[in-house]
Structures are given as structure tokens and as C-alpha cells.
Amino acid sequence: MKWHNFGSVSPRCDTVLGPDINIARESVQVQIGRKKFLIGECHVQGAAPLNITWMKSGKLIIENEKFTLVKIVTEQNTNTRQLWIREMALEDYGQYTCSATNLYGTKKKNVFVKRAVVRETRQESQSNCADKKYFNITVFLTCFAVIVHL
């Protein structure tokens, strides 16, 4: 029996096998009640098939009336997964995790969603005073004295 060595097939040096994740933002601040807000966006490269999921505090997020998951695949074989929230509530703050898994491993990246502090702008504070009657009048008085010598 004669054995033939047909060579081995090795991946190109620039080929990404295991999942590689890039997160658009690692931290985001949002106000309670904000509608249609992008919680996170993760860009994943790696050998197919890729399983990409979003979790909150370790619990799998599925698309429902609260969350929308958007899948985008580019020509460069980058898979993007966006996580949108329809309306921000107090219980929605915390840690969100994008996880990517394939035959070569698993990678995870976190996004921390924090409560935004609402600051009153100067225009808002002025409009709040518009209904009230305030008078701010500056009066300048000039006094002339004439001295007459007799």
C-alpha cells in the first residue's frame, strides 16, 4: 500500500476562526421613558456558523414587545447584532452581554446601561417662569446739584 501526501490545508493568516467581537459602546446612559433606544451593537467575525445572542444579567433576550433584535451581515462577513429597547424602564438598567459562539470557541462583550441624569436647561427654566409675572426693572437715577453763591 502506498500513501500519498496531498498536503494539508491550513487557513490563511488573516482568516478569523474563533469569534471576534467589537462593541460600538461599552457604556451608555439613557433616561427612563426613552423610546426606541439602541442599547448595544456588536460586530462579530469568525468562521460560520456563528450563533450570536444578547443577554441581560445572564438571561437570554428574545425578541418581544420590549426588545427588538436586528441582524445585519456585511460584504466583509461581519455579522452585526443590534439590541433595541422600545421604552426604557427602571428594571432595564444593568449589564447586557453580546455572546458569539462557533466551533472554535465563545467570546463575550458587555455593555453597561446606566440611568441618565436629567438636567434642566436654561431655556426650560425660562419657559417655566413664563407663566408667572416677574418684573425685573433696573432704574438709573441721575442727581444734579447746583450750588449758587450769593
* Nearest residue to 98 (alpha-carbon basis) of 48, 46, 49, 61: 61
Question: Residue 145: which residues within 8 A CB-CB, separation 6 or more?
Answer: none
- Domains of the chain (ranges, CATH numbers): 20-115 (2.60.40.10)
- Residues of the chain with pLDDT > 70, as a percent, come to 69
When the pLDDT of each residue in the chain is averaged and rounded to a whole number, the result is 80
Checking if the pLDDT of 5 tops 70, the result is no
For the cut 80, the answer to whether the pLDDT of residue 120 exceeds it is no
Q: Which three cell numbers stand for residue 114?
A: 446606566
Of 92, 138, 134, the C-alpha closest to 114 is: 92
Query: Which is higher by pLDDT, 6 or 122?
Result: 122
What pLDDT sits at residue 31?
A: 96
Q: Is the pLDDT of residue 52 over 60?
A: yes
β partners of residue 74: none
- What is the predicted pLDDT for the residue at 76? 74
Confidence of residue 118 (pLDDT cuts 50, 70, 90): confident
The answer to whether residue 96 scores a pLDDT higher than 60 is yes
Residue 129 C-beta-side C-alpha neighbours within 13 Å:
10
Q: Give residue 91's pLDDT.
A: 96
**Cα-Cα end-to-end distance for the chain:** 145
Helix (H, G, I), strand (E, B) or coil at 65: coil
Q: How far is CA 82 from the centre of its chain?
A: 9
What is the model's pLDDT at position 129?
47
Please tell me the predicted confidence (pLDDT) of residue 67.
97
Query: Grid cell 478569523 — which residue?
Result: 16
Whole-structure pTM value: 0.68
pLDDT of residue 133: 43
Confidence check: pLDDT of 107 > 60: yes
| Span 40-44, average pLDDT | 95
* DSSP bridge partners of 60: 55
